[in-house]
Structure 1
Amino acid sequence: MATSAEAPLIAHRGDADGPDNDGPQHQDDSYADRSTQDGEPRGDGDRKIGLFMWLLAISAGISGLLFGYDTGVISATLVSLGTSLSGRELTLADKSIVTSCTSLLALVASPLSSVLADRIGRRPVILLADVLFAAGALGQAYAGTVGQMVFGRSVVGAAVGAASFVTPLYIAELAPAAHRGMLVTLNVLAITLGQVVAYVVGWAFAGHEQGWRYLVGLGTLPAVLQAALLLGMPETPRWLVRAGRVAAARRVIGKTLGGSGIGAAGAAAERVLQDIRREVREEEEEGGVLRGAKGVRAWTEGWRELVTVPKNRRALTIACLLQGLQQLCGFNSLMYFSATIFTLLGFSIPTLTSLSVAVSNFVFTVAALLLIDRIGRRRILLYSIPFMVLGLLLSAGGFWFIKLPNDGLGGIPESGESAAAAAVTILTSMIVFVAAYALGLGNVPWMQSELFPLGVRALGSGLSTATNWSANFVVGLTFLPLMDALTPTWTFVLYAAVCVGGWGAVWRIYPETTGLSLEEATGLLENDWGVGRGGSSRARAGGR
């Protein structure tokens, strides 16, 4: 005989569209760990992250590791290719195309994968990305011409585009609200770890002829590992509810909350489930994206919802702003071309010098992991971006004292004490820039799924991720030409100006979502930009 605590669970089991049996006590409970009036999480929000949720986040984070490895590995590869491709040295144009083609395909893949994520689920898209990661890695390893290398990098780009969109979405839809920032940042940490690994492996193979082939081919191994782990990973409860699989969603929620499905843990899982069902029902009543829409119809309906519904339009504006700013600040120019930059500055082992930048990124991403849910998304951006500006301006000043040779980026600068001091200044300022980036702009934009309602969450996240890759493509294609045409000093000044403009936009329109459930966070944009009204009491202090 069922107890009273079990009764609501049994009442819904196996009936995806049956009547809600929530009593009045559930009507105002938006999430198991919803904030109280004083802004602090209550009840289940204080739960520690369960082992199952940690395993899911780490397993999904392998996509981030691949993302980071494949974006970081190109830096060491470019300085190791020699005449391996097409029997000649690569020109600046060759290097720019090999680098930027990854971003171009990621740009195409991210919105397309958002449609797939809505149709077939989040987990199958991760599996598809793994297949592309493995194929692209092998394609690069066996490349004999520049064209073949571009093809392999393009396949990897499609994988990166799908993974960069779907992995944060997958984790965000599984994570408890009080710990969502930390768990999504764990994926960003995996990205930075992948970059560190790429630089370490690049340094290890630096003296080996054709060692770059092993360097790019190693990306196959994590992809195969994650594909195997996917067999034990569930679909997200929010996608399951939209697909009518309520009982499966209930089981997943119970596991992610670390409970047994009965008693207090069962009640907490039921509150989460009812909140998701309520959002789905409200979207259907408001004429949201049609559940049965397919193909072009689903795409056009999704676009209509994003553009015509004010709160969705605001969410898309904020998400695209943050994703574009993340790239246009110039960070990935360091990831792609750091070895080239440090060669220009006269460092004897440029790949090893680049490693110091990657390690700084990793260390300060660990700090962000611990701070993001305490400080808040908005405030950590407002505090960190000014230090990014400082680092860029110091780099610009350092380059002012570097006298480049007549052949520009292709030669070695004149040596001397002033040049050596300027080189150290540039390295130090780049570390300051990267550290500040890692604390804020490197991870906050990937919280984008918090802003979108369920019905347009995948499409909105996919389109904003496409903005990221559009900007990434521009940076990858233009960085070396800008360094050559504007000089390094004015190139870094340009990036600093972008950061200043971005800080103003964040201050004006980005609300605090820390501590809110996904359903609560989307409500911030219902009538205005929601600045100063969301998040915990600590986070709100930074939003006023």
Structure 2
Amino acid sequence: MSLRADEQPLLHDEGEGSGLLRNGSDDIDGLPKDPADREEGSSAPGLFIWLLTLSAGLSGLLFGYDTGVISATLVSIGTALSGRDLTSFDKSIITSSTALFALAASPLASVLADARGRRRVIFAADALFVVGALIQSASSSVGVMVVGRSVVGAAVGAASFVVPLYIAEAAPSAHRGRLITVNVLFITLGQVIAYVLGWLLAAHADPRTAWRWMVGLGAVPALLQAVLVLLMPESPRWLVKAGQTAEARAVIGRVQGSSGSSATTSTILKTIETEVRAEDEARRVRQQARRMPTTTASGGLWRFVPRWLLIDGDTWAALFGVRRNRRALTIACLLQGLQQLCGFNSLMYFSATIFTLVGFDQPTLTALTVAATNFVFTVAALLLVDRIGRRRVLLYSIPLMALGLVLAAYGFSFLDLSVGDGDDGAKPPSSGGGSAASIVLASIMLYVAAYAIGLGNVPWMQSELFALDVRSLGSGLATGTNWLANFVIGLTFLPLMDALTPSWTFVLYAVVCIVGFCLVRGCYPETSGLSLEAAASLLDADDWGVSRRR
């Protein structure tokens, strides 16, 4: 759906060479911004939006902790589950069950987020994090452990979708990328904490209970955030959509802080209201044209299903029937799928296993260097993503990822490894094994650094691609794509290492990166510095907006 000309305060076609947007004197690295966007956030983010971001970002900490802790857990469990050593299949099922249930939870969370608000989904995710952590810590069999990981997966799926959406809808446009990256920074911090605790507990705690503490401590930040959620306001864009304009104005005013003005708040609010009215009008036109009911719950078995669990059929029609929404979904799913299919989370889930195979004496401590690299370069992304732009960051970093993977494959080719069931130890390395192990570690760190700057955070800015009426559904489906790809990676990594050898497995991931680079170059436009409404409108252009804001 496109806004009519008289309803487009943020977009102006000023002829060839000038792009869609008015150019101003405060362009960010050559990327023009319009006056409304400059008003919305040209100064530094205020204290309120930082507190809001940090409170919501605790979900990222939980996300990172629960994905990182499984690496140390898998090499610490021993025979505590089902009275035997874990096989490669056991490890794959325990790991991939988290992604499978995250995949199921993401679309459901998008429905709940539209019906009940973004904040309530965060609270529900916290409850699931606590329950999942307790189940894991009490596990006595592989089956119970899988159940605990599945509950955590549902929490991760909901949180990974709703937190970037919530931050994007609340943040000033000039700082939206940076603030969403804070959530990714929390994810990497959670991974670092997981590795540090895993190393300390494995070294100093009772080996029979150390892994239980590793997984059980995930309940602590979830309980903290559950309390903070009660103090957090709802997303202003959701409030406008729900008809609570006064509450939305208050939230926008607090986000703007002392640097904002009543006029600025009114301008931002009017922009959101304009889009909501235009989308409502477009929805009515489509419904009348198709003569379809306004809800799918009109009778039969549907009457026993709560209304908030059902998506208005017209929302699906708007997502798949309107060109710019369809394109937004394509780009968001591409980036989310690429983020996982490049193989990164295989390192997060199995890094300790990999470094055991390579021959390092302290694999968990070695894996910590990978998590620390991820954290440090996510901080770099925090500083660069709004200044350089999302598109450029990806185009610069993905080739470096491919290079790191190829170098890792080269290093693995000198090592004689065994990844069979019940054998997590490496055979004595062949000649040159010590230097080969160093090549593997250095190349993986290069790969992780490039990932952290680009693919690690840019896909989570997906909500800025979607119009408001499909933002929740589109983001939920894109996040579901992430977890589907995550499930595939978690389930297939160790079998691929067995079947293809580590070298060819990493080469396969490098090929995925190269294909992804070509696709990003062809269809992902630059959205940094734009309001959500203006960013979504870029995709109306025939070239998907790529040439408008290089």
The one of 67, 86, 92 aligned to 1:71: 67
User: Structure 1, residues 468-519: CA drift from partner, whole Å, max 9, x if none?
Assistant: 0000000000000000010000000000000000000000000000000000
For the residue of structure 2 that corresponds to 1:374, the secondary structure is helix
The one of 410, 425, 437 aligned to 1:423: 437
Would the alpha carbon gap of residues 281 and 215 (structure 1) be closer, same or farther in structure 2, given more than 3 Å must change?
same
Give the structure 1 partner of residue 23 of structure 2: 37
The one of 120, 125, 134 aligned to 1:138: 134
8 Å Cα contact 1:115-1:299 kept in structure 2:
no
Amino acid in the other structure paired with 1:401: F
Cα deviation for residue 414 of structure 1 reads: 1.8
User: Residues 239-388 of structure 1 correspond to what in structure 2 (within 5 A)?
Assistant: 239-259=238-258, 265-287=261-283, 293=295, 294-295=307-308, 298-388=311-401
RMSD (Å), alpha carbons = 2.1
Deviating more after overlay: 415-424 vs 214-223: 415-424
8 Å Cα contact 2:283-2:314 kept in structure 1:
no
8 Å Cα contact 1:103-1:470 kept in structure 2:
yes
Would the alpha carbon gap of residues 297 and 156 (structure 1) be closer, same or farther in structure 2, given more than 3 Å must change?
closer
1:163 aligns with 2:150: no
- Structure 2 Cα separation of the partners of residues 517 and 406 of structure 1: 49
User: Structure 1, residues 212-233: CA drift from partner, whole Å, max 9, x if none?
Assistant: 0000000000000000011110
The one of 390, 408, 426 aligned to 2:403: 390
- Structure 2 Cα separation of the partners of residues 28 and 438 of structure 1: 35
Cα deviation for residue 297 of structure 1 reads: 5.2
Amino acid in the other structure paired with 2:435: A
Cα deviation for residue 176 of structure 1 reads: 0.3
- Structure 2 Cα separation of the partners of residues 192 and 407 of structure 1: 30
Structure 2's unaligned 5+ residue stretches are 1-5, 13-19, 25-31, 288-292, 296-306
1:205 aligns with 2:221: no
Cα deviation for residue 45 of structure 1 reads: 3.0
The one of 470, 479, 490 aligned to 1:456: 470
Give the structure 1 partner of residue 46 of structure 2: 50
8 Å Cα contact 1:193-1:362 kept in structure 2:
yes
Deviating more after overlay: 275-284 vs 297-306: 297-306
Deviating more after overlay: 423-432 vs 523-532: 523-532
- Structure 1 Cα separation of the partners of residues 21 and 522 of structure 2: 24
The one of 136, 146, 150 aligned to 1:154: 150
- Structure 2 Cα separation of the partners of residues 328 and 243 of structure 1: 37
8 Å Cα contact 2:115-2:308 kept in structure 1:
no
Give the structure 2 partner of residue 479 of structure 1: 493
- Structure 1 Cα separation of the partners of residues 273 and 294 of structure 2: 17
- Structure 1 Cα separation of the partners of residues 272 and 449 of structure 2: 37
1:491 aligns with 2:477: no
- Structure 2 Cα separation of the partners of residues 81 and 296 of structure 1: 39
Give the structure 1 partner of residue 177 of structure 2: 181
Amino acid in the other structure paired with 1:126: I
1:117 aligns with 2:130: no
Structure 1's unaligned 5+ residue stretches are 1-23, 535-539
8 Å Cα contact 1:387-1:432 kept in structure 2:
yes
8 Å Cα contact 1:401-1:419 kept in structure 2:
yes
For the residue of structure 1 that corresponds to 2:469, the secondary structure is helix
8 Å Cα contact 1:66-1:223 kept in structure 2:
yes
For the residue of structure 2 that corresponds to 1:486, the secondary structure is helix
User: Structure 1, residues 254-307: CA drift from partner, whole Å, max 9, x if none?
Assistant: 0001149xxx61110110100000000000111179997445752533222211
Give the structure 2 partner of residue 223 of structure 1: 222
The TM-score, its normalising length taken from structure 2, stands at 0.89
Cα deviation for residue 406 of structure 1 reads: 9.2
8 Å Cα contact 1:405-1:414 kept in structure 2:
no
Give the structure 1 partner of residue 9 of structure 2: 28
8 Å Cα contact 1:29-1:271 kept in structure 2:
no
Cα deviation for residue 416 of structure 1 reads: 5.6
8 Å Cα contact 1:346-1:412 kept in structure 2:
yes
For the residue of structure 1 that corresponds to 2:102, the secondary structure is helix
Cα deviation for residue 36 of structure 1 reads: 4.1
Give the structure 1 partner of residue 301 of structure 2: none
Would the alpha carbon gap of residues 517 and 234 (structure 1) be closer, same or farther in structure 2, given more than 3 Å must change?
same
1:526 aligns with 2:526: no
Paired residues, number: 507
User: Residues 226-237 of structure 1 correspond to what in structure 2 (within 5 A)?
Assistant: 226-237=225-236
- Structure 1 Cα separation of the partners of residues 161 and 455 of structure 2: 16
Cα deviation for residue 403 of structure 1 reads: 1.7
The one of 73, 76, 79 aligned to 1:80: 76
The one of 495, 509, 515 aligned to 2:523: 509
Identity of aligned residues (%): 62
Amino acid in the other structure paired with 2:438: V
Amino acid in the other structure paired with 1:448: Q
Amino acid in the other structure paired with 1:310: R
- Structure 2 Cα separation of the partners of residues 27 and 483 of structure 1: 53
8 Å Cα contact 1:53-1:175 kept in structure 2:
yes
Give the structure 2 partner of residue 20 of structure 1: none
- Structure 1 Cα separation of the partners of residues 478 and 283 of structure 2: 23
- Structure 1 Cα separation of the partners of residues 316 and 497 of structure 2: 38
8 Å Cα contact 1:259-1:266 kept in structure 2:
no
Amino acid in the other structure paired with 1:265: S
- Structure 2 Cα separation of the partners of residues 249 and 42 of structure 1: 20
For the residue of structure 2 that corresponds to 1:287, the secondary structure is helix
For the residue of structure 2 that corresponds to 1:258, the secondary structure is helix
8 Å Cα contact 2:398-2:517 kept in structure 1:
yes
Cα deviation for residue 27 of structure 1 reads: 7.5
8 Å Cα contact 1:385-1:437 kept in structure 2:
yes
8 Å Cα contact 1:512-1:533 kept in structure 2:
no
